[in-house]
Amino acid sequence: MFKFCTSNIFKAIILCVKNFFPSAKHFCKGFTLAEVLITLGIIGIVAAMTIPTLIKDYRRAVSIAKLKKTYSTLQQAIQRTVADNLGYSYVNFSDGNTQSMIDWYNYYLKPNLRIQKDCFDEAGCWHKEGVTKMLNGNIALWDEGTKGIGGNIIVFRTFDNVYVNMDGAAASDIVTHFGVNINAPGLVIHVDVNGDEGPNVIGRDIFVFVFNNRLLLPAGNDKTSEEVDADCSENGTGYYCFSYILRNNWKIKDDMIL
127-174 pLDDT, tens digit each: 988 899 999 999 999 999 999 999 889 999 999 899 999 998 889 999
For residues 108 and 90, the answer to whether their CB atoms sit within 8 Å is yes
Distance of CA 166 to the CA centre of its chain: 16
What is residue 97's three-state secondary structure? coil
33-42 pLDDT, tens digit each: 887 888 888 8
Beta bridge partners of 86: none
Supply the pLDDT for residue 30.
65
The listed range with the strongest mean pLDDT (17-31, 52-66, 219-233, 243-257) is 219-233
Q: Average of pLDDT values for 171-195?
A: 93
Whole-angstrom Cα distance, residue 4 to residue 124? 55
- Which of the four pLDDT bands, split at 50, 70 and 90, describes residue 124? very high
- Which of the four pLDDT bands, split at 50, 70 and 90, describes residue 186? confident
Domain boundaries, the chain: 89-247
Looking at per-residue confidence, does 12 or 67 come out higher? 67
Alpha helices in the chain (DSSP H): 11-20, 33-83, 98-104, 171-178, 225-231, 241-247
Supply the pLDDT for residue 178.
97
What rounded mean pLDDT belongs to the chain?
82
- Judged on CB neighbours under 10 Å (0-12, 13-18, 19+), 254 is exposed
Q: Please check the confidence at residue 94 and state whether its pLDDT lies above 50.
A: yes
